[in-house]
Structure formats: C-alpha cells, structure tokens
Amino acid sequence: MPKSKRDKKISLTKTDRKGLVWKQHIIEDIQSCVTKYTNVYVFSVHNMRNTLLKELRTQWKDSRFFFGKNRIMQLGLNEAAKELEEKIGEDLHKLSLRLTGQCGLLFTDHPKEVVLDWFKDYSALEYARSGHTSKEAIILPAGPCEEFSHAIEPHLRKLGLPTKLERGVVSLYKEYRVCEAGSILTPEQAKILKLCNMPIATFKLLIKCLWSKTAGFEPFVDEPEASDSGNGADDEMDTPADGPDAPMDEESDDE
C-alpha cells in the first residue's frame, strides 16, 4: 500500500522550548551575573502578573532579574559558588536554598538600602484570579449597569448575575453579592470582578535574603530552606528567566 505523504513522523524533542540548551543558557547567565554584579537578592512574588514583571525589568534596566524554575536558578548559583572562595561560596549556596515557592533573583549594584526601600514601597493593584482569597465582601447594588454593553447581557447571566435588559440597558433586578470576606474566588466570581473593573489583588514583592561579595549571606525573613537536592518547590514560577527582551509565557486574564 502506498505510503501517505500526510503520514509524517514528528520528533517531540523539537517542540521542547525549555530543553537542555535553554536550561544551560540560564545557568551560564546566572554564573555570569554572579561575577558581574555585587549583590544578589532572592524575593518572593505575590499575585504574579507577567506584564508587571516586564515593567520591573524596565525600571531596573541597569540590574538583572531572573524568573523561572527554582531548581534551574539554584544550579546556576551553586555552579557559580564553586568558583568562589570557600566562605563566600558557602554563603551563596545558602542563598540558593531560599529559592522556594514563587520567587525570583535580582542581580544589582545598587546599595542595599535603596533596594529594600524600593521593594518595601512597591505594589500594584491587579484583577484577582480564581483561587484568590477576598479580603472584603463585595456587593453589587440593584439598578442599571451602564458600563456593560447590551450584547454581553446573556454572558452576565451565565456568570450568575441577575440581569435583564431595560430599554437596551443592562440592569441588575436585585442586589447581588459577588463574594464574602475570606472566601476563595471561583472562576465566575473573578470574571465578574474584572468585568466590573474591580481589581482587588495586590502584586507585591518581598525581599527574602541577600548575598553580597563583601558581606556574604544576610536573611531578612525566617523561613525553611529548600532541600539540598537542587529541586525547587512545586509552586515555583514557570516563566522564562532571561533578560528584559526574553519572551514571557502568556497568562490567561480571563479568570
């Protein structure tokens, strides 16, 4: 039987964007940054958004951010530690053990006080996603909702909103309680809040620790360290770790 031209074998190894070459590139980049910069910070990320991470890189153009798999960043730091004097290298290894959860690295030559003050003051409101814990009860009053187009009224009803059209204007025919204080948002609730232009999540960065070539390791928060196996936590970020021009993984904003 003749072989179909459509029957083509596709090697899955060619589709792996984050293969060995990409990982090795990140490891070598981190090693290079340890040599280039005076200070390395580990920071945690709360309510991560890729658009805001890009803004960070723009604001800190003379520094270097890495976001990605914790175990890859750990390998980069630990490989760099091998090239340093024993005490300084051990301190850099301590820093790598703080790469747990959703976090990143900042390489910079800015003074410690400048970095700590900036991170302390920086925050940005964002739309919450499903799984976010609401800090307040949110209630939509009955009445016209002129911000909504009449075309999306059926979609609003599917989300659970008690809506109807009155002379072409979307209206709530009764008060609607979107969420309670302390409740975990469902996908529908998160979509309603976004449609209502209600950002209730705060994008925030927290400095966890510092390593410097002059002072060594300095922790700023008390927390358990990662295992010494080079593996990061399960909830680590899966975004590219390279510099400001690196493509970012797209995140859905529908939630």
Across the chain, mean pLDDT equals 83
CATH architecture observed for domain 22-125+202-219: 2-Layer Sandwich (3.30)
Over residues 13-19, the mean pLDDT reads 58
- CA 129 – CA 74 distance, rounded (Å): 29
pLDDT band (50, 70, 90) for residue 14: low
Whole-angstrom CA distances from 80 to 75, 92, 93 are 8, 8, 9
Query: Which amino acid is it at 125?
Result: L
pLDDT band (50, 70, 90) for residue 227: low
Query: Which amino acid is it at 55?
Result: E
Given phi > 0 = left and psi -120 to 50 = alpha, else beta, which region is 213?
alpha
Contact 81, 93 (CB under 8 A): yes
Backbone CA torsion sign across 180, 182, 185, 190: positive
Lowest-confidence pick of 123-127, 192-196, 240-244, 250-254? 250-254
pLDDT band (50, 70, 90) for residue 2: low
What topology does CATH give the domain 132-196?
Molybdopterin biosynthesis moea protein, domain 2 (3.90.105)
Residue found under tokens 């400048």: 114
Asked if the model's pLDDT at residue 176 lies above 60, the reply is yes
Asked if the model's pLDDT at residue 192 lies above 70, the reply is yes
3-state secondary structure of 225: coil
Over residues 204-222, the mean pLDDT reads 91
Give residue limits of the domains in the chain.
Answer: 22-125+202-219, 132-196
65-111 confidence digits (pLDDT tens): 998 899 999 999 999 998 888 888 899 999 999 999 999 999 999 99
Residue 101, C-beta contacts closer than 8 angstroms, at least 6 positions apart: 44, 233, 235, 236
Whole-model pTM: value is 0.74
Element (H, E) at 140: strand 138-140
Copy the structure tokens of residue 20.
Answer: 């060995």
Number of residues written out for the chain = 255
| pLDDT of 224 | 60
Copy the structure tokens of residue 193.
Answer: 């809040």
| pLDDT of 84 | 84
- CA 42 – CA 50 distance, rounded (Å): 18
